[in-house]
Amino acid sequence: MGFERLEDFYRVYGEHRTYVRAEVVRKHIRNFDEQFWDPAQARTDHTILDLGCGVGLFLAYLQAKGVQDVLGIDGDAKVKAYMPPEVAEKVVIGDIWETLAATTKRFDRIALFDVFEHFDPIEGRRLLVELTSKLKPDGRIVLRVPNAASPWGLQYQYNDVTHKAAYGPGSLQHVALAAGLKTVARLDARRGGRLRRLAEDMLHGALNRILTDPPPLWGANMVVVLAAA
**Alpha-helical regions (H) of 2-120:** 13-16, 26-32, 57-65, 85-88, 96-102
For 114, list phi and psi in degrees, rounded to 5. 60, 45
Q: CA 56, 192, 115 angle in degrees (round to 5)? A: 35
Residues 3-32: pLDDT tens digits? 888 888 888 887 778 888 999 999 999 999
Instruction: Classify 22-228 by CATH class.
Output: alpha beta
Q: What share of the chain is helix, strand, coil (3-state, %, to 5)?
A: 45, 20, 35
- Contact status, residue 130 vs residue 180, Cβ threshold 8 Å: no
The yes-or-no verdict on residue 204 having pLDDT over 70 is yes
Domain ranges of the chain: 22-228
Angle 84-86-87 from CA coordinates, rounded to 5°: 65
Whether pLDDT at 125 is above 70: yes
User: In the chain, what percentage of residues exceed pLDDT 70?
Assistant: 100
Average pLDDT over residues 53-63: 97
Q: What is the spatial distance between Cα 189 and Cα 4, in angstroms, rounded to a whole number?
A: 34
**What per-residue confidence (pLDDT) applies to 45?**
98
